[in-house]
């Protein structure tokens, strides 16, 4: 990632200070950790900094960067933002009213948090516990919809794929739905390639994981806004090819079985109407 030294030092100085290590070197220390996930390697690369100091710096910097999440990790809120986002999604595969694509990924941790390990949530269950779901349930986003894989329950605001297609309109719906949600699936791979620690795993306490994960998400969005290309070489030794590492982090979708799609329910009525009116018309063109 590229940073202007003057602008970086000025902005970071207001977020965290250290009498011995300059803000820019603290940032470099954190970035090195995000690449390796190893405090010992990070300390060794930053001459004169002990492992304990590197540990404190990484967590301090991560919390400082994570505090910027409201500015750099945003869901469309205003009507103008929603319409702009819907148009961008529509231009991908002509799927209407989409304001977001949703998916989940695993991030491994290598240090026991103590006690019982938390239960791993599937994609749909994680969303069901989120604030975003509550806002959609309350109708805050109007008729805007999300697209997700079959791990999510079909809802008026959640368009999921059909497990079987019997008509040209249904085939067209599935094709458009998959192409529309594809960017979020690619995003996880790009994010983890930019910050390999997200793929290799974090050996930190559980309470310290969220600031680190959030900080890398903030930096990822800053890089995207700046048009930063994905680095080709990291100087990081990988235990396996990238494709194999990333595939291990996927959360498999639990496909609905024996669900009669012809039976219309309150949850799938919006999807049924979309297929039989909008995609039926497209299929006939």
Distance separating alpha carbons of residues 250 and 192, to the nearest angstrom: 12
Report, as an integer, the average pLDDT of 119-130. Answer: 62
* pLDDT value, residue 176: 96
Distance separating alpha carbons of residues 87 and 76, to the nearest angstrom: 12
159 forms beta bridges with 147
* pLDDT value, residue 6: 45
Phi, psi (degrees; rounded to nearest 5) at 234: -110, -20
pLDDT band at 120 (very low <50, low <70, confident <90, very high): very low
pLDDT band at 23 (very low <50, low <70, confident <90, very high): confident
* pLDDT value, residue 285: 85
By the 10 Å C-beta count (0-12 exposed, 13-18 middle, 19+ buried), 223 is classed as buried
pTM of the model: 0.77
Distance separating alpha carbons of residues 265 and 149, to the nearest angstrom: 19
Q: List, for residues 231-271, the tens digit of each pLDDT value.
A: 655 555 666 565 555 556 555 554 444 444 458 899 999 99
Please name the residues in contact with 186: beta carbons below 8 A apart, sequence gap of 6 or more: none
Q: List, for residues 178-229, the tens digit of each pLDDT value.
A: 999 998 888 888 898 899 888 888 888 888 999 999 999 999 999 988 888 7
Distance separating alpha carbons of residues 255 and 149, to the nearest angstrom: 9
Q: List, for residues 145-165, the tens digit of each pLDDT value.
A: 999 998 899 999 999 999 889
Q: Which residue has the higher pLDDT, 227 or 89?
A: 89
Phi, psi (degrees; rounded to nearest 5) at 227: 70, 25
- Strand ranges inside 149-194, DSSP E: 158-159
Res. 61: pLDDT tops 50? yes
Of the listed ranges 24-28, 35-39, 265-269, 274-278, the least confidently predicted one is: 35-39
Report, as an integer, the average pLDDT of 112-119. Answer: 49
* pLDDT value, residue 226: 86
* pLDDT value, residue 124: 57
Distance separating alpha carbons of residues 210 and 189, to the nearest angstrom: 19
* pLDDT value, residue 181: 93
Phi, psi (degrees; rounded to nearest 5) at 111: -125, 125
Distance separating alpha carbons of residues 93 and 114, to the nearest angstrom: 46
Of the listed ranges 61-65, 116-120, 122-126, 225-229, the least confidently predicted one is: 116-120
* pLDDT value, residue 81: 94
Res. 277: pLDDT tops 50? yes
pLDDT band at 4 (very low <50, low <70, confident <90, very high): very low
Where do the domains of the chain lie?
5-71+199-236, 76-186+261-283
* Nearest in space to 38 (alpha carbons), one of 58, 24, 23: 58
* pLDDT value, residue 257: 44
109 forms beta bridges with 202
Taking the CA atoms of the chain, what radius of gyration do you get in angstroms?
Answer: 22
Coil/strand/helix, residue 109? strand
Q: List, for residues 62-76, the tens digit of each pLDDT value.
A: 999 999 999 999 899
């Amino acid at each position: 990632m590229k940073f202007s030294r003057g602008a970086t030092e000025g902005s970071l100085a207001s977020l965290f200070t250290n009498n011995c290590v300059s803000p820019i070197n603290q940032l470099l220390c954190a970035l090195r950790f995000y690449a390796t996930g190893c405090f010992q390697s990070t300390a060794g690369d930053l001459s004169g900094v002990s492992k304990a100091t590197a540990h404190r710096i990484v967590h301090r910097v991560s919390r400082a960067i994570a505090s910027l999440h409201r500015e750099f990790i945003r869901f469309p809120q205003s009507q103008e933002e929603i319409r702009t986002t819907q148009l961008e999604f529509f231009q991908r595969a002509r799927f209407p009213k989409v304001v977001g694509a949703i998916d989940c990924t695993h991030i491994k941790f290598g240090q026991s948090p103590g006690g019982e390990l938390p239960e791993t949530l599937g994609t749909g269950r994680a969303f069901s516990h989120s604030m975003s779901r509550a806002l959609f349930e309350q109708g805050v986003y109007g008729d805007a919809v999300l697209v997700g894989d079959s791990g999510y329950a079909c809802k008026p605001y959640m368009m999921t794929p059909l497990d079987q297609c019997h008509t040209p309109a249904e085939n067209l719906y599935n094709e458009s739905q998959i192409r529309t949600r594809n960017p979020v699936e690619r995003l996880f791979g790009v994010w983890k390639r930019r910050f390999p620690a997200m793929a290799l795993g974090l050996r930190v306490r559980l309470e310290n994981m969220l600031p680190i994960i959030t900080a890398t998400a903030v930096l990822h969005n800053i890089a995207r806004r700046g048009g930063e290309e994905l680095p080709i070489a990291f100087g990081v030794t990988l235990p396996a090819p990238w494709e194999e590492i990333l595939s291990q982090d996927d959360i498999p979708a639990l496909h609905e079985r024996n669900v009669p799609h012809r039976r219309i329910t309150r949850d799938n009525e919006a999807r049924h109407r979309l297929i039989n009116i909008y995609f039926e018309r497209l299929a006939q063109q």
